[in-house]
Amino acid sequence: MILNDHSHGIINTAARFMTTPNHETILIVDDQEENLRGIGNVLSLMAYDIILASSAEQGLQRLSAATPDLILLDVMMPGTDGLTACRQIKAEARWADIPVIFLSADDDKNVIVQALEAGGVDYVTKPFNMAELVSRVRTQLALKRARDQLRALAEDKDELMGIMAHDLKNSLAGMRLSACLLQARLADLPSRCAPLVNNIVNASERMLAFMQEFLANQCAEQLQMRCEAVNLGEVVAKVAAAHQTAAGTKKITLTWHAPKEAVLVMADIEGVTQTLENLVSNAIKFTPEGGEVRITARQPTAGMVKCLVSDTGPGFTPEDRTKMFQRYGRLSAQPTGDEPSTGLGLSIVKRLMDAMGGTVTLAESTGNGAGAEFIIALPVPA
């Protein structure tokens, strides 16, 4: 376990990679004093903060005192070896994201595979070239910085979603209510106010609908699925009842059918409910006045339960089929009652069904004015 850099080589290597202070901490765990001193000197000259440990046990103690940005970990050490130490590190949630680079004189492919499976991100064999090691250190630290930035952005996004869900959504709902009250009293207002009030009502409805769809899309991405036995017939009945008013407004006949006995599926109750709500609301949205929307739950077949949502709308073109499950995908059909459309509904359905181990497909026989029929399939409980 001897480094192949002489003292002047160490200084030259550090000079090559010298940058402005990083304020990043590296924990070096190695039972050889020469390795600790050599690697530590080079990385110190590069303005990294260095923590040294001469055994895995000591390294774990150092971790408890201060969390580093990167760990250089020897594989072969007395007592606890590097592979075992890495598994212990990765088992702790507070340390799981720290990248670990293994250092070892053993170039056996099986050992390398074991090291990577234990949680390492890289493996450097000894004797190694110091410039190569430094380059790999810089690469892993850069990747960690990128991951940390992405995590911060995700947290910012979640905070923004919270603001939208509570403050903006409520404000939009209040604006829409006020506009609807004005719309109901247009007879008491000057005639020139009518188009202005109607524009406010329509705009606020579209903005509120987009906000709701957008938040539903974010919820689908973050929803933690808890699949259990769910009576699909009950879900179908509740969704149908919830959409009768919207269907009646357009004089659309909304019917549903499910077997009398319970039809059980393995699904997340919120996920399957949201799936059917999106499909049924879409069907009502794109079905012309006087049309029909049907929801049908079937008996299990080959370990799967199918539920069909069909309508008498315009259906989908071949081009629509290629992008219908993409987010914000604009399809050929237009809402028949001037309802807002965000292009998110079907992408939410696809994501939810994938997460529940189910499928969603469009029947091949639909389209060209023959209506549309979506089929969702969910597994039966074991």
Collapse the DSSP code of 376 into the 3-class scheme (helix H, G, I; strand E, B; otherwise coil) and give the result. strand
Residue 148 located in a structural domain: no
Closest CA to 92 of 49, 138, 59: 59
Rounded CA-CA distance 58/78 in Å is 12
Q: Kindly state the percentage of the chain with pLDDT values over 70.
A: 83
Distance between CA atoms of residues 280 and 374, nearest Å: 10
Residue 30: pLDDT band with limits 50, 70, 90:
very high
HEC profile of 215-228: HHHHHHHHCCCCCE
Q: Looking at 222, 245, 269, which one is the last position of a domain? A: 222
pLDDT category at 6 given cuts 50, 70, 90 is very low
Binned at pLDDT 50, 70 and 90, residue 143 comes out as very high
Of 128, 163, 186, the one marking the end of a domain is 128
In the chain, the number of structural domains is: 3
- Tokens representing 49 are 């903060």
Same domain, 86 and 97: yes
**CA–CA separation, 230 and 246 (whole Å):** 26
Average pLDDT, the chain: 84
Span 231-244, pLDDT tens digits: 999 999 999 999 99
The upper half-sphere exposure of residue 277, i.e. CA atoms within 13 Å in the direction of its Cβ, equals 17
Per-residue pLDDT tens over the stretch 167-223: 777 778 888 888 889 898 988 888 888 888 888 888 887 777 767 666 666 665 556
Residue 341 confidence (pLDDT): 57
| pLDDT for 8 beyond 50 | no
Whether 214 and 230 share a structural domain: no
**Do 174 and 101 reside in the same domain of the chain?**
no
DSSP state of 67: -
Query: If 0-12 CB within 10 Å is exposed, 13-18 middle and 19+ buried, where does residue 159 land?
Result: exposed
Ramachandran region, residue 354 (left: φ > 0; alpha: ψ -120 to 50; beta: rest): alpha
Task: Using pLDDT thresholds of 50, 70 and 90, give the confidence band for residue 373.
Answer: very high
Please report whether residue 136 resides in a domain.
no
138 is a domain residue:
no
Predicted pLDDT of residue 146: 93
Q: Is residue 106 part of a domain?
A: yes
Higher pLDDT: 51 or 222? It is 51
Assess contact for 59 and 53: CB atoms under 8 A: yes
Which helix (H) or strand (E) is 272 found in, with range? helix 269-286
Domain that holds residue 367: 225-379
Q: Does 139 reside within a domain?
A: no
Q: Are residues 243 and 210 in the same domain?
A: no
Q: Are residues 82 and 213 located together in one domain of the fold? A: no
Pairing of strands 122-125, 253-257: unpaired
Q: Distance between CA atoms of 62 and 83, rounded to whole angstroms?
A: 17
pLDDT for res 25: 94
d(CA 81, CA 156): 40
Asked if residue 218 belongs to a domain, the reply is yes
User: Which pLDDT score, from 0 to 100, does residue 219 have?
Assistant: 62
pLDDT at res. 189: 86
Q: Which of 222, 250, 278 is the last residue of a domain?
A: 222
CATH of the domain at 79: 3.40.50.2300
Indicate whether 180 and 53 sit together in one domain: no
Query: The domain spanning residue 241 has which CATH number?
Result: 3.30.565.10
For residues 94-100, average pLDDT: 94
Least confident piece of the model among 146-150, 225-229, 279-283, 327-331: 327-331
In this structure, the answer to whether residues 204 and 229 fall within a common structural domain is: no
Q: In the structure encoding, which two tokens stand for residue 45, read together?
A: 């000259």
pTM of the model: 0.52
Lowest mean pLDDT among 19-33, 76-90, 160-174: 160-174
State whether 45 and 114 are in the same domain. Answer: yes
pLDDT by residue (tens digit) across 56-66?
999 999 999 99
Q: Cα separation of 3 and 11, whole Å?
A: 14
Residue 149 lies in a domain: no
Q: Outline where DSSP puts E strands in 11-48.
A: 25-29
Share of the chain above pLDDT 90, in %: 50
- HEC states along 281-305? HHHHHHCCCCCEEEEEECCCECCEE
Residues 167 and 37 in one domain: no
What letter represents residue 106's amino acid?
D
Residues 17, 138 contacting (CB under 8 angstroms): yes
Q: Is position 77 within any domain?
A: yes
Give residue 7's pLDDT: 42
Dig out the tokens for 285 from the structure.
């949205």
pLDDT value at 348 more than 90: no
d(CA 180, CA 200) in angstroms, rounded, equals 9
Our CA dihedral for 341, 343, 349, 354, rounded to 10 degrees, sits at -170
Question: Residues 166, 279: one domain?
Answer: no
Average pLDDT over residues 127-156: 89
Residues 79 and 122 in one domain: yes
74 shares a domain with 32: yes
Please choose, from the candidates 291, 310, 287, the residue with its C-alpha nearest in 3D space to the C-alpha of residue 372: 310
